[in-house]
Amino acid sequence: MPAVSKGDGMRGLAVFISDIRNCKSKEAEIKRINKELANIRSKFKGDKALDGYSKKKYVCKLLFIFLLGHDIDFGHMEAVNLLSSNKYTEKQIGYLFISVLVNSNSELIRLINNAIKNDLASRNPTFMCLALHCIANVGSREMGEAFAADIPRILVAGDSMDSVKQSAALCLLRLYKASPDLVPMGEWTARVVHLLNDQHMGVVTAAVSLITCLCKKNPDDFKTCISLAVSRLSRIVSSASTDLQDYTYYFVPAPWLSVKLLRLLQCYPPPEDAAVKGRLVECLETVLNKAQEPPKSKKVQHSNAKNAILFETISLIIHYDSEPNLLVRACNQLGQFLQHRETNLRYLALESMCTLASSEFSHEAVKTHIDTVINALKTERDVSVRQRAADLLYAMCDRSNAKQIVSEMLRYLETADYAIREEIVLKVAILAEKYAVDYSWYVDTILNLIRIAGDYVSEEVWYRVLQIVTNRDDVQGYAAKTVFEALQAPACHENMVKVGGYILGEFGNLIAGDPRSSPPVQFSLLHSKFHLCSVATRALLLSTYIKFINLFPETKATIQGVLRAGSQLRNADVELQQRAVEYLTLSSVASTDVLATVLEEMPPFPERESSILAKLKRKKGPGAASALDDGRRDPSSNDINGGVEPTPSTVSTPSPSADLLGLRAAPPPAAPPASAGAGNLLVDVFDGPAAQPSLGPTPEEAFLSESWERWGRGMRTGAHPGHPVPLPLPPRFVCKNNGVLFENQLLQIGVKSEFRQNLGRMYLFYGNKTSVQFQNFSPTVVHPGDLQTHILSGLGQPPTKRVAAQVDGGAQVQQVLNIECLRDFLTPPLLSVRFRYGGAPQALTLKLPVTINKFFQPTEMAAQDFFQRWKQLSLPQQEAQKIFKANHPMDAEVTKAKLLGFGSALLDNVDPNPENFVGAGIIQTKALQVGCLLRLEPNAQAQMYRLTLRTSKESVSRHLCELLAQQF
Amino acid sequence: MIKFFLMVNKQGQTRLSKYYEHVDVNKRTLLETEVIKSCLSRSNEQCSFIEFKDFKLIYRQYAALFIVVGVNDTENEMAIYEFIHNFVEVLDEYFSRVEPINELLKIGSALEPQQACFSPASSFKGAVSAPPIY
């Protein structure tokens, strides 16, 4: 390729540049530039036609001035003129100017495009390359629109020169990245793949880049590239170090091309063809072998290039994750690098090993390097390498080494860089929870965490320890003892005070027997921290105090004194003031029993994915999920570590734990609502908008209900049952009239119902599963739309009065509903149940099992009648049809029972195919009657059903079809 | 994949920049400042790879000149690291004396790193943009 040769050096330009460089000040430079601009302008405007050389020179000067940061508003025309020159240097400067200073002046763009077109068609490879480079460098959508269709043709044309093909491939890649929609896929794609076989290594390199990008969108179109890439790779890997001439870099044959081929293979799963796979495995082994051979050169460039290939090879091995032998070899190789004197290699080895740790085949092999990695964590001078070491420790952790790793990470935390402390804290917290063998170790670890790096312990972490302690009886006493000891430190972190306050408030009684931690001692210890803490912590401590009054009546007088103090009762902070006032009143007004109920121990938290894990995932982005998700290598995570297991639940059966507090009416898999903000742990637990503190005189009822919420709010949340989304109706109730409609840990609702014509009667049974009385128990029926229902008093103790209805612990109450269907309807009426449990308001809304098919009147008829009516209902809107896959085993008897339960009559000997079911019935409503015919055709072979419904009303056809289809 | 290629001197002045993804011109200045800051703050003991925002920087220092390549996280760090050296060798070969300012135009016109193409016979000419010398 001709360069700007020294003799062609445009003296005027050199002089101008050295003038500029000699300028003493900015002003002098501007003056010199203005003079030059005036000169160029006059030359361009002059009558005398400029020759190509002068034009080139002046355009160059303009370009230089532009690069110095000055605006250029003329000369574009001259540059465009240069494009049509036949001299390389002139054309080149023209293209350079266009690439740098292109503007969307439409007149010029037309001219430029024209010049590019001419050059592309010129068959002069140098000119074609210049034009292609210009298209790629501008890379705009307009350029794409003008040329995207031509370039593939040039790329695969048999007579294109190598350099042109190379440029065309890269140009196409650029256009494809900028606007993928403009590049037409077509038969050329198959031929592009064959460029991998090209003689010219530059063409192959460019083609690999292009194919790697294209195949991500259309993997199947480029699948043939696998075998070609493997054979090309194999030829390179096995070539002698000098075979490839220009493409040999310090005795390494084509290192960058090898890397690219290996990367291309990572777009696909392992080759299916055994021969191809065998050849590839051979290549990978060769690369691993070469790493052990003595280097062919002492130069660092040689080993760098070799290692580049080696790392990419290991990436591919990890990507396939199917060759245990290779994985272990890769791990050993990386193990050698862990102690290499080059920091870069240590860094990369730690990084690659992190991904190896998540493979079941190499996890054990990675673990053997634990001491080296711990040493790296302690001694590496580079923070980014230490960070990688910490990541690797996290990835290789399992039950066998958790204690060692956690303690090393805790030690590292004391000296860790501030930037990564929070992440380390999260990791320690997760490992401690996940691999906890006993809970005292877990509690110790988290408290240590708070002690060492309290500032970096986010809320999620200390919420989590509270959740776990609350849910595990066996650790509560130990936790209370440990926090009590930790709080003895003269200076302890505020997070420690929070955890201590909460735990002692709940479980302080467990250590009260010891005179060293008697109630007054506990209280004075906590209170000694009170004044140093923030408002949120003080609010939490006030809640602890009121709980102390319940736990330890002997502290009542002292605590009331504290609450009564002016600094509390007249606190400037409204939250603290309100708590002080309310708690003081509560402690003096309420009887011991009421107090005990209100201030009872917190119920266990529902288990769900650890929010700490979620936070770490957020921090690391989605890519980190694989390293974190080690479910497959530790499938036996037991109950201790249940927090990381997904909550088992299905939509149809509301999970009991999900509704522990009854505040969360939607089924558990629902996404956290917007009010949960950043997906905070306890917001998640309590769900719902925070209750506003009522500032007016507080009626006792509201007061009681709020005191429990306060606990939550001390931890940034509160709860009010808003308007919950009704729970979906379990589909089985479409065909059944009796059963358990809803059940959680508190409440069970059973239902029994009967229907005749358009009337129905439903018995609802509310069972209190706890030992505590439900207060203000009030179930009401909401009937949206046309379905009017009446609630009549029955024989039992129906809670018809909204106030003061109570359900004793373990008791069951009954409610009777009379139902009348006035017209056809789509959504069932809702049952809304509200009550107070232990002072906390509970609310849930469910759909009553009343669907339109309950008002079915079966009709028997002969085949002839059936077909006559079937034909009468032949308008397209009268028919609804659904074809669906069977969700349950296809048993004719079960199907029959379901259809009968659905309400229609089953007609035998109607359908010529005995496998099919045919039914008929009339839906009875007060306003009208709707005749229904149905036909269900099972296909046992395909495990599919076809369901057809014909009724005289379009909405009824569709609704019945949907209801019935979900039954099979 | 390479996102950008920068040549910056120790004073923090950009000598050559090439972006392979669209970045606003005013954001480029900001980005380049941050990039060179994080490179300058590193010692010889530290590795040549920096995690920077959502991508990685790979840098090498030649006397007063830093060459920094921004890549996404699927890129092979070692390959890019050695590519930088290859690039410098080519510059050395092509111009017997690499001096940023005089040769600016020539570098710009004759030698520009090819997008994702590591052949020594680099022939992908392209735009060069550099700020004022002051």
The structure tokens listed for A410 are 């805790």
Domain A730-849 coded CATH 3.10.20.30: no
Q: What is the pLDDT of residue A241?
A: 63
Query: Residue A115: enclosing H or E segment and its boundaries?
Result: helix A106-120
Q: What is the pLDDT of residue B130?
A: 33
Whether A379-599 shares its CATH topology with A853-966 is answered: no
Across chain A, which has 968 residues, the per-10-residue mean pLDDT values are 51 88 90 93 85 90 88 88 91 90 74 92 92 89 88 89 93 90 85 91 94 90 92 90 79 93 95 94 94 90 94 94 92 92 93 90 90 90 88 91 91 82 86 84 88 82 85 87 88 88 89 85 88 88 88 86 82 87 86 83 74 69 40 38 37 34 35 35 34 35 37 36 60 81 83 82 82 80 60 38 62 79 78 80 82 83 83 82 83 83 82 84 81 86 86 84 83
Residue numbers in B near A347 (CB within 8 A): 47, 49
Name the binding residues of A. 11-12, 43, 53, 57-61
| Cα–Cα distance list, B110 to A5, A96, A789, B106 (Å) | 11, 10, 85, 6
Collapsing DSSP to helix, strand or coil, A532 comes out as coil
Q: Enumerate the domain spans of chain A.
A: 379-599, 730-849, 853-966
How many Cβ pairs within 8 Å bridge chains A and B?
148
**Domains of chain B listed by start with CATH number:** 2-97 (3.30.450.60)
Closest CA of chain B from A219, distance in Å: 18
Verify whether the Cβ–Cβ distance A170 to B115 is below 8 Å: yes
| Facing B118 at nearest CB: one of A256, A304, A348 | A256
Residue numbers in A near B110 (CB within 8 A): 3-4
Q: What's the angle, vertex CA A732, arms to CA A952 and CA A723, rounded to 5?
A: 90
Question: Is residue A844 a contact partner of residue A814, using CB atoms and an 8 Å limit?
Answer: no
Residue numbers in B near A311 (CB within 8 A): 76-78
The fold adopted by the segment(s) A379-599 is Leucine-rich Repeat Variant (1.25.10)
**Residue of A888, A851, A880 lying closest to A968 (CA atoms):** A888
Q: What is the pLDDT of residue A69?
A: 83
pLDDT tens for B36-52 read 999 988 888 889 999 88
Verify whether the Cβ–Cβ distance B77 to A344 is below 8 Å: yes
**Measured distance CA(B19)–CA(B127) in Å, rounded:** 10
| Facing B76 at nearest CB: one of A68, A166, A311 | A311
Q: What is the pLDDT of residue A820?
A: 78
**Residue of A30, A5, A11, A12 lying closest to A20 (CA atoms):** A30
Q: How many helices (H) and strands (E) does chain A have?
A: 41, 16
Residue A234 carries which side chain, given as an amino acid letter?
S
Question: Is residue A835 a contact partner of residue A842, using CB atoms and an 8 Å limit?
Answer: yes
Closest CA of chain B from A352, distance in Å: 11
pLDDT tens for B43-95 read 888 899 998 888 899 999 988 889 999 999 889 999 999 999 999 988 888 87
Verify whether the Cβ–Cβ distance A170 to B51 is below 8 Å: no
The fold adopted by the segment(s) A853-966 is TATA-Binding Protein (3.30.310)
Q: What is the pLDDT of residue A7?
A: 45
Query: Residue A882: enclosing H or E segment and its boundaries?
Result: strand A879-885
| ipTM reported for the complex, 2 dp | 0.80
Verify whether the Cβ–Cβ distance B129 to A100 is below 8 Å: yes
Q: Map tokens 């054309």 to a residue.
A: A91
Residue numbers in B near A299 (CB within 8 A): none
pTM: 0.63
**Measured distance CA(B33)–CA(A318) in Å, rounded:** 37
Closest CA of chain A from B57, distance in Å: 12
Residue of A nearest to B83 (CA): A256
| CA pseudo-torsion sign A203, A208, A213, A218 | positive
DSSP string, A303-325: HHHHHHHHHHHHHHHHHH---HH
